[in-house]
Every structure is written in C-alpha cells, then in structure tokens.
C-alpha cells in the first residue's frame, strides 16, 4: 500500500519525464537521481509502459549500431549512460565480430607506443650521458645498436653507433667537415692572395726592367744605330772601336817619338854586333828550320828585346831596344832586366 501511495503521488508530467529519460536509455537509478523521485515509482512507471527491464528496441538498435561503428564497450556504455554489463548484453555478437580485432590493434599500437616512448626516454638518457654535444632524435633500441642524433652545433641529424658513443668521445663529422672546409677556403684565399701579390711584383719588376732598358737606349758610337746594349750595337762595332783605339794609341806613341819605325831586326843586329845583351853569347841567323813552308826559329835566333817592356810603358825606340837570343828574351819575359 505504501508503494502504491508513493506511486500515486506523482503527476502525469513527472511520469512522462520518467518515460522520456527511460526511452533515452537511462537506468532506473539515474532517472531517480535526475528527477529526484523514488525508484519504486520509476520502476513501476517504466514497467507499466513497456519500458521495464529492457530498453526500448529503438534504443537497443542505436546501441548496437554505435558499437558496430567500432567503439569499445566502455565507450558505448558511457555514450548511452548505461553500465558496461548492460551494454554487453545488448551488443552480444557485435563485440566478437568487430571489436576483438580493433581491440587487438589498439593494444598492439598502445604497446608499441609505450615501448617506443620508453625507448625514446632511454635514448635521451643515453645520449645525455655519453654524447652531451648531441641531441637524441630517434632510433634507440639498445646499447649495441645505432641511433639517430642531432648535433647541437650544426643541427644535422646523423646515425651513430651506440658502442662507439659509449667508448669514444665522438664529435660531429659535419662540424668537422665545415671546419675543414673553412680552413681550406682560408688557405685557398691566402694562396690566391700570395699569388696575386707575386704576380703584381713580377709585373712591377718587368716594368722596372723595361724602364731601365728604355733608359739604356742610345746611339752606337761607331755606326750611330740605336741600341740598348751597353755601349756598341754589336760585337763587330765593339771590335772596330777597339781596333781604332789601338791604332790611335799607336799613332800617339809615334807622334810622341815613342816608336821608331826604323828599328828592324837586321839594323839592331848590326848595331849590337850580333851579341845577346842578356847572356853575352853570339846570336845565330841560321838557327831555324823550315817545316810545311813555315820558318820556325830556334833558341839562338836573334830577337828585339825591349829593356822596359812595351806593356809597362817602354818605348819602341833605339834607347830601349837590345838584341837578345830568342830564348833569353823569352826567359826574361816581361820582367825588367836584373841590374
């Protein structure tokens, strides 16, 4: 009677609200909480209107189709505000058809993700410990495999062996290459600069030489031709000039009575009586042989000796000439006589 009384207490409007909520898939308890009504009333109202115990067919279909879209049981239950066992009750068959597969995939994916995350964490720790100048990127699978890291300086990714990282101090190859390239470029620039300088110096030297050569241009004193040689334009002119000089000197000597043209071997022989003034022996005109048409004089043949040699300024004059054996003359050579 008490229940009946309670049931009677609620008006038609509340009943309608209860039925509405029930048809949306809410449980008795949830409807009680939502409308602040007794659960006996809710249960009775629902049962009286065909919504007791099980959910409406339409709602059931909705749940089934929602589940069939691939949602998990928990998701489905939450979506329709029902408990998981209730959801399972309505979704019998569907779970085994579609969800098992999805669940498997999800679990595999989650496991993979979990391991990947933990691997990455270990990788980050590993790189921090062994290669602080690098940043972990990916690929750490263990201490004996490889991993991808990023250089903190140049930011280039590189694949490195964990073993190498553990046992050696590894520096970035890219950075090294960059440094090498920089040095090479510097050296190259230096070399170019030096070459340039050397080239400029060479050009300067060339110009200097040409300038000097131009300054050197003058007329040859012999033939009057323009030349940049030292004095004469050619060897021929030089010889000609030397001969002229020699001749001029000879003429000068003649003019100064330093050369007496009358001095001959026979006249001197006659004057000195055929006696060598060096050894006092007699000179012999017959001391010669003829070979191949040439007269080759011997040691005792007479010769004209200059007491003061011509090379030392002696004159070719009667005062400075004496008869001497060819040999004695030769032995005396250019020496002044022993007085």
Residues in contact with Zn ion by CB under 5 A are: 151, 153-154, 172, 174-175, 220, 222-223, 233, 237, 276, 278-279, 281, 325, 328
- Nearer of residues 82 and 278 to Zn ion, judged by Cβ: 278
Q: Which pairing describes strands 218-219 and 157-161: parallel, antiparallel, or unpaired?
A: unpaired
- Nearer of residues 231 and 250 to Zn ion, judged by Cβ: 231
- Nearer of residues 151 and 315 to Zn ion, judged by Cβ: 151
Report the nearest approach of Zn ion to the CB of residue 283 (Å). Answer: 7
Polymer length in residues for the chain: 339
- Nearer of residues 9 and 182 to Zn ion, judged by Cβ: 182
Radius of gyration over every alpha carbon of the chain, rounded to an integer in angstroms? 68
Report the nearest approach of Zn ion to the CB of residue 329 (Å). Answer: 8
Report the nearest approach of Zn ion to the CB of residue 121 (Å). Answer: 24
Please list, residue by residue across 71-100, b when 16 or more beta carbons sit within 10 angstroms of its beta carbon and e when fewer do.
bbbeebbeebebeeebbbebbeebbeebbe
Report the nearest approach of Zn ion to the CB of residue 218 (Å). Answer: 11
The burial class, CB within 10 Å (0-12 / 13-18 / 19+), for 302 is: buried
- Nearer of residues 32 and 147 to Zn ion, judged by Cβ: 147
- Nearer of residues 73 and 178 to Zn ion, judged by Cβ: 178
Is 161 strand, coil or helix?
Answer: strand
Is 135 strand, coil or helix?
Answer: strand
Residue number of the CB atom closest to Zn ion: 276
Report the nearest approach of Zn ion to the CB of residue 152 (Å). Answer: 8
Sign of CA dihedral 107, 113, 114, 119: positive
How far is Cα of residue 170 from the mean position of the Cα atoms in its chain? 22
Measure the CA angle with vertex 329, ends 323 and 332; round to 5°.
Answer: 130
Report the nearest approach of Zn ion to the CB of residue 168 (Å). Answer: 16
Report the nearest approach of Zn ion to the CB of residue 180 (Å). Answer: 12
The burial class, CB within 10 Å (0-12 / 13-18 / 19+), for 234 is: middle
- Nearer of residues 32 and 149 to Zn ion, judged by Cβ: 149
């Amino acid at each position: 009677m008490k229940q009946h009384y309670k049931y009677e207490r609620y008006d038609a409007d509340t009943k309608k609200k209860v039925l509405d909520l029930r048809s949306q898939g809410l449980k008795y308890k949830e409807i009680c909480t939502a409308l602040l009504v007794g659960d006996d009333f809710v249960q009775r109202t629902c049962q009286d209107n065909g919504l007791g115990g099980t959910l409406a067919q339409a709602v059931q279909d909705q749940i089934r189709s929602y589940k069939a879209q691939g949602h998990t049981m928990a998701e489905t239950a939450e979506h329709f505000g029902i408990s998981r066992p209730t959801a399972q009750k309505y979704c019998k068959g569907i779970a085994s058809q579609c969800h098992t597969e999805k669940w498997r995939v999800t679990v595999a994916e989650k496991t993979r993700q979990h391991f990947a995350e933990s691997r990455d964490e270990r990788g980050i720790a590993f790189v921090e410990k062994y290669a602080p100048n690098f940043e972990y990127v990916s690929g750490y699978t263990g201490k004996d495999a490889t991993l991808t890291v990023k250089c903190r300086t140049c930011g280039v990714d590189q694949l490195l062996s964990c073993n190498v990282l553990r046992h050696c101090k590894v520096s970035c190859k890219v950075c090294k290459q960059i440094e090498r390239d920089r040095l090479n470029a510097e050296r190259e620039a230096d070399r170019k600069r030096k070459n340039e300088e050397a080239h400029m110096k060479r050009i300067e030297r060339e110009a200097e030489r040409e300038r000097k050569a131009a300054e050197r241009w003058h007329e040859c004193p012999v033939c009057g031709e323009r030349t940049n040689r030292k004095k004469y334009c050619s060897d021929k002119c030089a010889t000609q000039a030397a001969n002229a000089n020699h001749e001029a000197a000879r003429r000068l000597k003649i003019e100064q009575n330093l050369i007496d043209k009358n001095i001959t071997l026979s006249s001197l022989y006659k004057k000195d009586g055929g006696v060598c003034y060096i050894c006092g022996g007699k000179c012999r005109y017959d001391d010669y042989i003829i070979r191949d048409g040439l007269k080759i004089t011997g040691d005792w043949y007479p010769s004209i000796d200059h007491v003061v040699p011509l090379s030392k300024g002696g004159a070719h004059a009667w005062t400075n000439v004496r008869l001497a054996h060819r040999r004695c003359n030769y032995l005396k050579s250019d020496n002044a006589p022993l007085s």
